[in-house]
């Protein structure tokens, strides 16, 4: 006797995984379809299941699938032919060109090619992202709040605070160029430590507006702190990256000569 097995790709309905997201249901279904096309479940030129089949598979209404299909059609991923069905045009392009690395050199490579749009700059006494455990605060800071773009597309919102005495060394350069790039080339600045933490979250309304993305869409939130050799915090920043632009690079071994448990562990 043949046993009826459930489709491993099916979901039981909006009350399951979809119910935990604030995104519209059709947007979530579109994301699911997009990922399946990207993974090769349906190759370019191949016909995808009918609206009825997809609605049953995802446990949603037929009209929801139709809206999701409409989004993918606008993106040029699929095309529909009357009486023939819906076919895959191409796979989604890989926009995850932004490697969030764990080394200073990889961080500098990451920002190469970035363009900026200034939102606000002003002097403040104590930055909001600053914490007691970060180190000794500077007397005051210059806030630089802006959007970073690449190829005309916004990919991150950065709210950074630079010690005012360091900002005063080259204010025009800090306003018009990338702060890390400028800092890295200054002989007057002696770095003590630099670290960053990354957490995954969702875009609020303001972030979604600034980064041209859906409210509730995935974002990578980075908090970055740099001190000088006297443990004074000279730079602290809160950065929000679009989640669809980011990939996390972690170098587990410095070179092929390294061994787990050796002196470099």
Q: How confident is the model at residue 81 (pLDDT cuts 50, 70, 90)?
A: confident
pLDDT in tens, 4-18: 444 434 444 443 556
Whole-number pLDDT of residue 152: 81
pTM across the whole model: 0.63
Tell me how far apart the alpha carbons of residues 95 and 207 are, in angstroms, rounded to a whole number: 19
E-strand ranges in 5-83 read 78-81
* Residue 12 confidence (pLDDT): 44
pLDDT tens profile 88-113: 998 876 555 455 555 666 566 666 67
Predicted pLDDT of residue 213:
83
* DSSP sequence for the chain: -------TT----TTTGGGG--S-HHHHHHHHHHHHHHHTSS-TTPBPPPHHHHHHHHTS-HHHHHHHHHHHHHTTSEEEETTTEEEE--PPP----EEE-SSHHHHHHHTTT-EEEEEEEEEESS-TT--GGG-EEPS-EEEEEEEEEETTEEEEEEEEEEEHHHHTTSHHHHHHS-HHHHHHT-TT--EEEEEEEEEEEE--HHHHHHHT--TT-EEEEEEEEEEETTSEEEEEEEEEEEGGGEEE---S-SSTT--TTSTT-
Please enumerate, as own/partner, the contacts of 12-15 that have beta carbons within 8 Å and a separation of 24 or more.
Answer: 12/59, 13/58, 13/59, 13/60, 14/59, 14/60
Domains annotated on the chain, with CATH: 17-88 (1.10.10.10), 98-248 (3.40.1410.10)
């Amino acid at each position: 006797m043949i046993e009826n097995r459930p489709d491993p790709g099916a979901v039981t309905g909006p009350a399951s995984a979809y119910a935990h997201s604030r995104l519209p249901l059709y947007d979530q279904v579109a994301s699911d379809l997009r990922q399946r096309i990207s993974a090769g479940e349906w190759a370019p030129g191949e016909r995808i299941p009918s609206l009825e089949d997809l609605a049953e598979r995802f446990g949603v209404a037929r009209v929801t699938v139709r809206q999701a299909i409409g989004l993918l059609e606008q993106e040029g991923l699929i095309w529909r032919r009357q009486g023939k069905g819906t076919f895959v045009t191409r796979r989604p392009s890989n926009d995850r060109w932004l490697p969030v690395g764990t080394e200073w050199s990889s961080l500098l490579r990451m920002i190469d090619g970035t363009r900026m749009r200034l939102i606000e700059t002003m002097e403040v006494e104590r930055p909001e992202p600053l914490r007691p455990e970060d180190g000794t605060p500077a007397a005051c800071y210059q806030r630089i709040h802006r959007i970073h773009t690449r190829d005309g597309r916004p990919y991150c919102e950065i709210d950074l605070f630079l010690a005012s005495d360091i900002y005063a060394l080259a204010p025009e350069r800090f306003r018009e160029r990338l702060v890390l790039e400028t800092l890295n080339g200054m002989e007057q600045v002696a770095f003590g430590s630099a670290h960053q933490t990354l957490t995954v979250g969702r875009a609020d309304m303001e972030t979604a507006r600034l980064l041209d993305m859906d409210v509730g869409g995935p974002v990578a939130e980075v908090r970055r702190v740099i001190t000088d050799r006297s443990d004074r915090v000279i730079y602290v920043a809160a950065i929000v990256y679009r989640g669809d632009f980011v990939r996390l690079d972690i170098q587990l071994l410095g070179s092929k000569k390294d061994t787990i448990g050796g002196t470099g562990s």
